Structure 1
Amino acid sequence: MAINLELPEKLDSTVERSHLAAEHIFRPISRKYDLAEHEYPVELDELGKLAKQARTTERAAEGEKDSGEDTVNGANLRAVLNARELSWGDVGLMLSIPGQGLGNAAIAAVANEEQLERFGDVWAAMAITEPGFGSDSAAVSTTAVRDGDDYLINGEKIFVTAGSRADHVVVWATLDKSQGRAAIKSFVVPLDAEGVSVERLEHKLGIKSSDTAVIRFADARVPADNLLGTPDIDVKKAFGGVMQTFDNTRPVVAAMAVGVGRAALEEMRRMLEEAGHPVDYDTPVAVQHAAVAEFIRLESDWEASWLLTLRAAWMADNATPNSLEASMSKAKAGRTVTEVTNKAVEIGATGAYAETELVEKWARDSKILDIFEGTQQIQQLIIARRVLGKSSADLK
């Protein structure tokens, strides 16, 4: 059986448009906003408008089956291609494009048709983590209490990407703490709503061009129909609805890692060739320079990361459960990008460690890609549960 790994022609425009933006908009200002943390990249405003126009055009084509095929190549595959190309330019700037927040992926994952229409053009951040927990998403303590036609939300969220720049935020909150994880729901909350305040912005190791905020909710009132999914508490289904968000966003984060990794591999190859050690795929690795052998090994891991990411996104487009595959792509890509970028710094020595090149920046940026949307350890745990058929209670 032959497997065709070529992307459909209808996605060529996405790749070309995103790469041009990465090359001609992101790369030239990458160092500027790395040094000017918390300063808004005004150069992205026009790009945000163009992206909005492109999304409007693409929505009409989403869900269409390719000619002669029984499968769909839609929004999820397009999202990972876009993330890969833009992150090759600058992953922090990619996370700062107006209208393309992680919360938008959450809306796309679980919103109904009316909500998809109503929130189609918002810029939504994602608020999950709290001061009292990180990886254990079931430990949400932010509350949402029904009050007539509204919900009142109270709590504090930390590490909210684009939290001071987006116009909405998708907030995870519990309807009833006594019901455990089954009562956790996600809400689309306008950031200008009364009771919502940005408390501070974090200073970070990497992705400095992207803001990371602490947001407090004090009796923040939102309409009941801003709840994504059903308000019913079903202990049998636990909080599968909100967790479905990760099945969409983890492949996108994996694609970000693939983009940064490709940038580092390209630079590593250039450095090797300048040093007189070209990569030769027709010669056994064992007889090539040690640094070349290391490059080939890392490149193969990078290729595996990308193939896993494509599979997870394709499954999401075709309504196939992909929790295992989403975690596999995130785990592999997150681990690989940190190894690739650090090896690029090592091979580049003093030149790659200095701020004269972007290599040292990629090494700093890459670490978060192995952490947010679920750490390496959490992904390994999820994969083990799926492979072994264990529940979260059976395998912790």
Structure 2
Amino acid sequence: RAAIKSFLVRKDNPGLKVERLEHKLGIRASDTAAITFTDCRVPAEDLLGSPEIDTKSGFAGAMATFDNTRPLVAAMAVGCARASLDLTRDLLEQAGVAVDDDRPAERQSAAAAKFLQLEADWEGAKLLMMQAAWMADNRRPNSLEASMAKAKAGRVGSDVTLSCVQLCGTLGYSEAELLEKWSRDSKILDIFEGTQQIQLLIVARRLLGLTSAELR
């Protein structure tokens, strides 16, 4: 695994073929394709990085890239949820449901209380994401924080966007507003770059000091 390397495979490289574009629930602006490689030889000059074998930049290096990308996916989930919350607040107010951030939730309507709960969950996801991103920017080890942010933000993104659809009823479910789109888009953010279950497993390993062989 220490000898794993990354290559750039050009689109006109013999043997590379795009078989089909996938039809997806969300993020349809970003194409996902099935690609096959048949007798596809890649020249040495298309190797990314040094050809020397380095245990720190092989499989371990490939996995370390997730420490940078997982906070970015968490940020996408946080942004998607924020857009849903902002629009939902406006739609609730138009329907005569006021959300007061300064009053206890139990003294407000059920819809307003639910909205405040979603806001609290969103704030927690945002803070974890910003911590993981800051550590990545400052080149600090953040494997634990990156997985914590991804696990929290991925779940919160899905929960918040779907709850916003429900709070707005038929209007939230229709294509008249973007709430239904954001709920579809947010689901993948809890899946790619490592699923919810994988993130929780990584967090447990880091906290308990166990290896992947010891805790599966």
Range into which the TM-score falls when normalised by the shorter chain: over 0.9
Q: Which amino acid aligns with 2:150?
A: K
Q: Which amino acid aligns with 2:105?
A: V
1:375 maps to amino acid: T
Contact 1:198 1:216 in 2 (8 A): yes
Give the secondary-structure state (helix, strand or coil) at the position aligned to 1:191. Answer: coil
Q: Measure, in 2, the Cα distance between the counterparts of 1:284 and 1:226.
A: 59
CA gap 1:231/1:297 in 2 versus in 1, 3 angstroms: farther
Q: Return the letter of the residue paired with 1:394.
A: E
**1:258 counterpart (75, 78, 85):** 78
**CA separation of 1:267 and 1:371: change in aligned 2, threshold 3 A:** same
1:217 and 2:34 equivalent? no
2:47 maps to what in 1? 226
Could you tell me the TM-score, scaled by structure 1's length? 0.52
Aligned to 1:208: 28
Is residue 305–residue 329 contact of structure 1 (8 Å, CA) maintained in 2? yes
Change (3 A) 1:230 1:244: farther
1:273 aligns with 2:93: yes
Out of 109, 114, 123, the position equivalent to 1:303 is: 123
Q: Provide the rounded CA distance (Å) in 2 between the counterparts of 1:192 and 1:237.
A: 28
**CA–CA distance in structure 2, aligned partners of residues 309 and 192 of structure 1:** 38
Which residue of structure 2 lines up, in the alignment, with residue 313 of structure 1?
133
**Structure-2 residue corresponding to 1:356:** 176
Question: Is 1:366 matched up with 2:206?
Answer: no
- Which residue number corresponds to residue 160 of structure 2? 340
Could you tell me whether the CA contact under 8 Å between 1:309 and 1:326 is conserved in 2?
yes
- In the alignment, structure 1 residue 327 sits paired with structure 2 residue 147: yes
Per the TM alignment, residue 188 of structure 1 is displaced from its structure 2 partner at its CA by 2.5
- Once the two structures are TM-superposed, the CA of residue 212 in structure 1 deviates from its matched residue by 0.3
User: Are the equivalent residues in 1 in contact too, given 2:2–2:53 (CA < 8 A)?
Assistant: no
**Further displaced range: 386-395 or 218-227:** 218-227
1: distance between equivalents of 2:133 and 2:100?
Answer: 32
What's the offset of the Cα at 1:345?
Answer: 0.9
Q: Going by fraction, where is strand more abundant, 1 or 2? A: 1
Shift of 1:317: 1.5
Corresponding position of 1:382? 202
Unaligned regions of 5+ residues in structure 2, if any? Answer: none
Contact 2:69 2:193 in 1 (8 A): yes
- Cα 1:222–1:305 shift into 2, 3 Å: farther
- Corresponding residue pairs, total: 215
- Cα distance change, pair 238–227 in 1 and its aligned pair in 2 (3 A): closer
After superposition, residues 4-15 of structure 1 pair within 5 angstroms as none
Matches for 1:237-252 after TM superposition, within 5 Å: 239-252=59-72
Say whether the 8 Å CA contact 1:334–1:376 is kept in structure 2: yes
Q: Contact conserved, 1:328 with 1:383, CA < 8 A, in 2?
A: yes
Which amino acid letter does the alignment assign opposite residue 167 of structure 2? I
Q: Assess, with a 3 A threshold, how the Cα gap between structure 1 residues 232 and 265 changes in structure 2: closer, same or farther.
A: same
Q: What residue in structure 1 maps to residue 112 of structure 2?
A: 292
Are the aligned partners of 2:71 and 2:132 in contact in 1 as well (CA < 8 Å)? yes
Aligned pairs (5 A) from 1:158-177: none
How many angstroms apart in 2 are the aligned matches of 1:333 and 1:324? 14
Give identity over the alignment, percent: 60
1:264–1:340 CA contact under 8 A, matched in 2: yes
Structure-2 separation of matches of 1:338 and 1:248: 22
User: Which amino acid in 1 is paired with 2:129?
Assistant: T
* Cα deviation digits, residues 27-55 of structure 1 (max 9, x gap): xxxxxxxxxxxxxxxxxxxxxxxxxxxxx
Given residue 271 of structure 1, which amino acid in structure 2 is its aligned partner? L
Question: Aligned Cα RMSD in Å?
Answer: 1.8
The Cα of 1:311 is off from its aligned counterpart by 1.1
Report the residue type matching 1:222 in the other structure. Answer: P
Kindly indicate whether structure 1 or structure 2 has the higher relative contact order, using CA contacts under 8 Å at least 6 residues apart: 2
Q: Which amino acid aligns with 2:126?
A: W
Aligned partner of 2:25: which letter? L
Cα distance, 1:201 vs. partner?
0.7
Kindly tell me: are residues 229 and 371 of structure 1, through their superposed partners in 2, closer, same or farther at Cα, counting changes over 3 Å?
farther
Q: What CA distance in whole angstroms lies between the structure 2 residues aligned with 1:224 and 1:394?
A: 40
Partners of 1:299 and 1:269 in 2: CA distance: 11
Instruction: State the distance in 2 between where 1:237 and 1:312 align.
Output: 21
Q: Are the aligned partners of 1:185 and 1:231 in contact in 2 as well (CA < 8 Å)? A: no
